[in-house]
Amino acid sequence: MDSVWFTQTQTARLFTAEEPLRLAQGGELGPVDIAYETYGELNAEASNAVFVCHALTGDAHAAGYHAGDKRPGWWDNLIGPGKPVDTNRFFVVCANLLGGCQGSTGPASANPATGRAYGLDFPLLMVADLVACHRALLRHLGIDTLLAAIGGSLGGMQVLEWALRHPGEVRNAVVVAASSELTAQNIAFSAVARKAIMADENFHHGQYAAAGENPDNGLSIARMMAHITYLSEDALTVKFGRELREKDRSPGFGTDFQVESYLAHQGEVFLERFDALSYIYLTRVMDYFDPFSEPGATDAVRERPVNWLVASFDTDWRFGTPHSRRIVRTLERAGQPVTFREIPSPWGHDSFLLPVPRYHDTIRAFLDHALEAALGEGVDARGAVVTPVGVAAGPKALREDLQILADLVPDGSRVLDLGCHDGDLLSHLIARRNCTGTGVEIDPSAVLSVIRRGIPLVELDIDFQLDEFDDDSYDVVVLSRTIQVIRRPQEVLEQIARIGSRIIVSVPNFAWWGHRLRLLRGRMPMSKELPYKWYNTPNLRFVSLADIELFFAGLGLKIERRIPMGIDGEALRHPFGANLFAGAATYVLGKR
C-alpha cells in the first residue's frame, strides 16, 4: 500500500421526530441518522470542502482504511494525499445515502411507530431527498458552500440535482458517467433486478429480517445481472473470453465458464455488504430522476452559474456518452460554463471507479483550478495567506494575430472558439473583455491545458459533432487557423453559420509569395504560417485568400471585413495584392 492512512465512520442525527425531513413526494421522515466520513482538514474560511456523492451500492467509506480492515475505501484511487482529490489540500466529506444500509436510516432501520424494520413501509425516495440529507450534514459540519461536489453514476445524479436546485451552495460540480433521464432499457434492467429480489421466497413482503431470513438468491441474481451492465463486452472478453473452469469437464448446466464463476462470486460477496430493500429503493430513486423536465429547471443556475465538469466513458453502455451529452446540451442552453470530455477506457461503466489516467488527470486539472480560484481570495487550503501564481497576473499576452482577432469581438459577447488550442484567446476575452465562452478542442494535451486554466471546454470532433450546439446560441463563433485541418469545411461553415450571429475566420494563405517562390524551386512551402514538413503536416486543405473568398460567397456568407496579415501576424498597412503579399487573413462574416 502506497500511503496507508486510517479513518472511521461517524454518525449524525440530522432530523428528528419533532423536526423531521420533509420528503419531495410529500410526507415526513424522522428520526434520520446519516453515516459519514471526512478526510483532510477544513481551512479557516471553510472554503476547501469537497463533497463526494456515492453510487448505488457505495457507502461513506470512500478512502483510506478502517482499523483492522485490509480493504481501502471504494474511491481510494482518486481520494487521498497527492491524488486528484488531494486530502492535503481539500477537506473531503462522503455520506452514506438516506435509504442505504451502511449506517444511514433506510428501509432496514427500525420504524419508531412499530418497533420493527420499516420494510416496504419506508417512504419512496427521490434524489432531492438524498440531497436534502447532504445539505443538512453540511450545516451540521459548519459548511455553507462547497468548493466542489463530485459523484459518479447515481452520485453524479445527486451532484446534478444539488447544483441545479441550490447553486449558491456548490461552486463546482463534477458529474461522471451519470444520466439526467434513464432510458427504457435502464429502467428495464432495474425492474428485473427488483423482481428477482421480491420474488425470492425469503422476501416475506419486505419483513425478512423479522422472519430471520434474507432473499439472498434474488439479491445475488440482481447483482450478477447489474454487474454485466457495468462492464464492457471487450472487458469481459479480455478478462475471461470463453475460458472454461475445468478443461476436461463435460458440458452441463453448472458453472462451467470462468465468466460464470466470476459473476457468481460477485453475487455472493455482495450479500455480505448490502441489503435487499436498499437495493430496491435506491434503484427506484434512479428510475424517477428527471430534473430537466421540471418547469424552470435551470432558472436558479441561470441566475447563479456553477462551473460544471461532465465526463463519460466511450465503452459505457449503461450510462453512455449520449446521457452525458444531454446534460451538457441542457446546461449549454442555460448559459452555463460547462466542460465535457469523453474518456477512452476499456472497462465500461465501472471506469469511473478505476484509475484511468486521462480521467484522473481531468479531475485533477478541474479541481486544481477550482482551488486556485478560491485562493484568489487570499488564503490557501489550510487558511494561510498566499499570493497565488497567475491569479493577479491574468492571461498572458496574445500573439499579434490573436490580438487582431480579439479586437473584432464585441465586449460582453458569448464566444465559441473552435479549435481553441491552449485557450489563449478565450482567456483574454473572459478576463479583459467581459466575455463568456466555450472552447472546442480535441487534442488531449491541449484539452488539459484549457481545463487547468478554468476555461469551459467541450471535447468533440468539429467535423461531425457541432450539432451539439443550438441555433444562434453564441454571439460570436471563431475558427482561428483551423479550417485547413478539418475534413469537411463546407459542413463546418454551415454549422457555424447556424450557431453564431457573427463569424470570425482566420486562415493561412498558401499563395503567399514566399510559398510560391519555394514551389518554383521545386520544394514544398514552409514558413512561420506553415512550420511543418510535407510528411508531418496536419494540414488537409491548401487554400489561398482568393479561394477562401469564393468559398464564403458560395455558402452565402458576406465578408463584412477582411484584415490581411504579414507572415509574422501583423496587420498589413496596404491590403492591395493580399493574395500575393499576405501570409494570412482574418475575416468577419455575416449571413446574407
Q: Where are the domains of the chain?
A: 10-374, 400-591
Q: How would you classify residue 336: left for phi > 0, otherwise alpha for psi between -120 and 50, otherwise beta?
A: beta
Rounded to an integer, the average pLDDT of 5-18 is 95
Strand 91-95, strand 32-39: pairing: antiparallel
Q: Which helix (H) or strand (E) holds 54?
A: none
Backbone angles phi, psi at 247, to 5 degrees: -60, -35
- Rounded Cα distance between 589 and 50, Å, is 45
pLDDT interval class at 476 (50, 70, 90): very high
User: In this structure, what C-alpha cell is assigned to residue 104?
Assistant: 444511514
Residue 393 pLDDT more than 70? no
400-591 is a CATH 3.40.50.150 domain: yes
Q: Which is nearest to 92 in space by CA: 44, 144, 37?
A: 37
The pLDDT assigned to 109 comes to: 96
Strand 146-152, strand 170-176: pairing: parallel
Class of domain 10-374: alpha beta
Q: What is the pLDDT of residues 182-201, one digit of tens each?
A: 999 999 999 999 999 999 99
Q: Which helix (H) or strand (E) holds 163?
A: helix 154-165
Rounded to an integer, the average pLDDT of 468-475 is 94
- Before 31, cis peptide (omega within 30)? yes
Amino acid occupying residue 536: N
The pLDDT assigned to 173 comes to: 98
DSSP letter for each residue of 86-129 = ETTT-EEEEEPPTT-SSSS--TTSBPTTTSSB-GGGSPP--HHH
What is the separation of C-alpha 144 from the centre of its chain, rounded to a whole number of angstroms? Answer: 24
Does residue 246 or residue 505 have the better pLDDT?
505
Does 10-374 match 400-591 in CATH topology? yes
pLDDT interval class at 540 (50, 70, 90): confident
Q: What is the mean pLDDT of the chain?
A: 92
User: In this structure, what C-alpha cell is assigned to residue 212?
Assistant: 430471520
Which one of the listed residues 316, 350, 401, 475 is annotated catalytic?
316
Rounded to an integer, the average pLDDT of 533-560 is 90
Rounded to an integer, the average pLDDT of 374-389 is 45
Rounded to an integer, the average pLDDT of 4-28 is 95
Which one of the listed residues 104, 109, 153, 220 is annotated catalytic?
153
- Rounded Cα distance between 371 and 88, Å, is 12
- Rounded Cα distance between 175 and 163, Å, is 10
DSSP letter for each residue of 357-379 = HHHHHHHHHHHHHHHHHHHTTSB
What lies within 8 Å, CB to CB, of 482 at 6+ separation is: 418, 419, 462
pLDDT interval class at 407 (50, 70, 90): very high
Treating both helix axes as pointing N-terminal to C-terminal, what angle do 216-230 and 276-287 enclose, rounded to 10 degrees? Answer: 40
Treating both helix axes as pointing N-terminal to C-terminal, what angle do 357-375 and 444-452 enclose, rounded to 10 degrees? Answer: 20
User: How distant, in Å, are the alpha carbons of 245, 246, 249, 257 from that of 254?
Assistant: 11, 12, 10, 9
User: How distant, in Å, are the alpha carbons of 9, 80, 308, 325 from that of 86?
Assistant: 19, 5, 19, 28
What is the separation of C-alpha 564 from the centre of its chain, rounded to a whole number of angstroms? Answer: 40
Predicted TM-score of the model (pTM):
0.92
pLDDT interval class at 2 (50, 70, 90): low
Active site residue 66: no
Q: Which is nearest to 51 in space by CA: 176, 162, 127, 214?
A: 162
pLDDT interval class at 103 (50, 70, 90): very high
What lies within 8 Å, CB to CB, of 176 at 6+ separation is: 150, 151, 152, 153, 155, 156, 310, 311, 312, 352, 359
The pLDDT assigned to 531 comes to: 83
Q: What is the pLDDT of residues 267-277, one digit of tens each?
A: 999 999 999 99
Which residue reads 447553486 in cell numbers?
167
Which one of the listed residues 54, 61, 349, 421 is annotated catalytic?
349
Rounded to an integer, the average pLDDT of 25-32 is 96
Active site residue 349: yes
Active site residue 312: no
Rounded to an integer, the average pLDDT of 40-67 is 96
User: How distant, in Å, are the alpha carbons of 94, 481, 532 from that of 539?
Assistant: 48, 10, 9
What distance separates the 2 farthest-apart alpha carbons in the chain? 95
Amino acid occupying residue 296: G
Tally of helices (H runs) and strands (E runs) in the chain: 17, 19
